[in-house]
Amino acid sequence: MSFSNAVWLTTVGILIGLASFLVSLRWLVYPLLRVLLWTRYRIKVCGLENLPRTGPVLIVANHVTWFDGFFLAATCPRRGRALVNGSYIDFPVFRHFARWIGLIPVPYSGPRAQRALIERCREVLDRGEVLAIFPEGQISRNGLTGSFQRGLEVILSKREHVPVIPVFLDNLWGSMLSFSGGCFLRKWPQGWRRTVTVAYGTPVPPRVTAFRARQAVLETSVHAFELRQGQVRPLETIDPALPHFEHPSLGRLTGSTADFDRGGVQHVGQKPGTVGQAIPGVALRVVDEAGAVLDEDRAGRIEARVAGKPEWQPTGLCGSIDRDGFLRIE
């Protein structure tokens, strides 16, 4: 073997070794991420048995902090990709690293960019991978789960076979990375280590809509809430002077907050004629006389799933829930 061939083979070997190292480093990101989060958070995980071990999966989760995607990555046993706001990762060095580990930036605006994003999401599912999205499209400004955008319905078009797994991230409101106190970051952390629960719920029944996905996430939130320890502090954003619904035996079920409209971010906290949205630890649904669950804006009997109470409980009232989760009592 000539010297030049030996040099060439050595160079190829080094490049292959470097590529293998980089690939392994990409997989090491997630264990390292769990270690880093552990220094500040105690993470409880439940419901992982609901996540399929193979095949395409769409994860839909509530959105409370800047770090929500990292909590999903640190707890999901399968590696996948996640949609994040493009402004979060649009930095000279970080943007390349973020794309490398599987983050998909959501474009600011423009129909062409949105169509390209949807096609990219479909490609992830068509390859049999896991895709995580935050259908609210923005971080909560009041600690409650906002309305879900219909983009997830477009992503799932002609992909009814894809399981949709609801996930609820609990006890993140109040952290520095949430909007509690009316701001991000500029506040003291509460406690040395915060316990965060990541609950994976059962798959959303077929013919998935944005409304049904949101309902499934809220039902999953009840399971997460039941794992909390100690007394739970009510959300400071809920205004008792605004419309709410308090059941004589189940307690307070809904609440309203002030509307938020600042810096291009809008968050509806109250609606005329309604009694607000389900508060943390509560899920609501409307059923017909046969017990079948009804979709948005369909009137029927109101049932509540409350943390600590067995199964769904009848409230004895009739009403409907709109697509944003606001309850209207007939």
Q: Give the DSSP H/E element, type plus range, for residue 314.
A: strand 313-321
> How many domains does the chain contain in total?
3
pLDDT at 102 over 90: no
- When pLDDT is cut at 50, 70 and 90, the band that residue 30 belongs to is low
231 falls within a domain: no
Residues 31 and 142 in one domain: no
Q: How confident is the model at residue 6 (pLDDT cuts 50, 70, 90)?
A: very low
Q: Residue 15 pLDDT > 70, yes or no?
A: no
Residue 11 has pLDDT above 90, yes or no: no
170 and 80 within one domain:
yes
Domain identity same for 263 and 147: no
Q: Does position 237 have pLDDT exceeding 90, yes or no?
A: yes
Per-residue model confidence (pLDDT) at position 21? 40
Would you say residue 50 lies in a domain?
yes
170 residue type, one letter:
D
CATH number (domain holding residue 257)? 2.30.38.10
Listing DSSP states for 273-293 in one string gives: TS--EEPTTEEEEEE-TT-PB
Least confident of 69-73, 105-109, 256-260: 105-109
Find the mean pLDDT for residues 243-257: 95
Same domain (yes/no): 4, 127: no
Amino acid 254 reads T
Q: Let me know whether 221 and 283 are in one domain.
A: no
Q: In the chain, what percentage of residues exceed pLDDT 90? A: 51
Contacts of 239 by beta carbon, 8 Å cutoff, 6+ apart: 255, 256, 257, 258
Query: Among 92-106, 171-185, 301-315, which is the least confidently predicted range?
Result: 92-106
**What is the full DSSP assignment across 58-109?**
EEEE---STTHHHHHHHH-SS-EEEEEEHHHH-STTHHHHHHHTTEEEEPSS
Residue 165 lies in a domain: yes
From 52-56, 102-106, 213-217, the region with the lowest mean pLDDT: 102-106
CATH number of the domain at 112, please. 3.40.1130.10
pLDDT (tens digit per residue) in 262-313: 888 888 999 999 999 999 999 999 999 999 999 999 999 999 999 988 899 9
pLDDT for position 187: 72
Q: 217 and 119: one domain?
A: yes
Residue 237 lies in a domain: no
Q: Give domain status of residue 301, yes or no.
A: yes
pLDDT at 14: 45
Residue 39 binned pLDDT confidence (cut-offs 50, 70, 90):
confident
The structure's pTM equals 0.86
- Determine the Cα–Cα distance for residues 249 and 233; give it in Å rounded to an integer: 20
Q: Say if residue 149 is in the same domain as residue 280.
A: no
Which has the minimum average pLDDT: 7-11, 143-147, 240-244?
Answer: 7-11
Question: Are residues 143 and 3 part of one domain?
Answer: no
Q: How far is CA 101 from CA 22, 29, 70, 81, 88, in A?
A: 11, 8, 11, 8, 14
Q: What is the mean pLDDT of residues 135-144?
A: 92
Average pLDDT (49-53) is 95
**236 lies in some domain:** no
pLDDT band at 28 (very low <50, low <70, confident <90, very high): low
Give yes or no for residue 127 having a pLDDT over 50: yes
Identify the three-state secondary structure at position 251.
strand
The DSSP element (H or E) to which 15 belongs, if any, is: helix 3-38
Give the chain's mean pLDDT: 84
Separation between Cα atoms, residue 166 and residue 143, nearest integer Å: 18
What 8-state DSSP symbol labels residue 187?
S
Please give the average per-residue pLDDT across 234-246, as a whole number: 93
Average pLDDT over residues 34-41: 76
Domain boundary among 226, 255, 277: 226
Query: Same structural domain for residues 131 and 214?
Result: yes
Question: Is residue 107 domain-shared with residue 52, that is, in the same domain?
Answer: yes
Q: Can you say whether the dihedral through the CA atoms of 201, 41, 94, 113 is positive or negative?
A: positive
**One domain for residues 48 and 178:** yes
Q: Which domain holds residue 323?
A: 245-329
- 57 inside domain: yes
Q: Cβ(318)–Cβ(289) under 8 Å?
A: no
Report how far apart, in Å, the C-alpha atoms of 149 and of each of 10, 156, 192 are: 53, 13, 35
109 and 202 belong to one structural domain = yes
Q: Would you say residue 93 lies in a domain?
A: yes
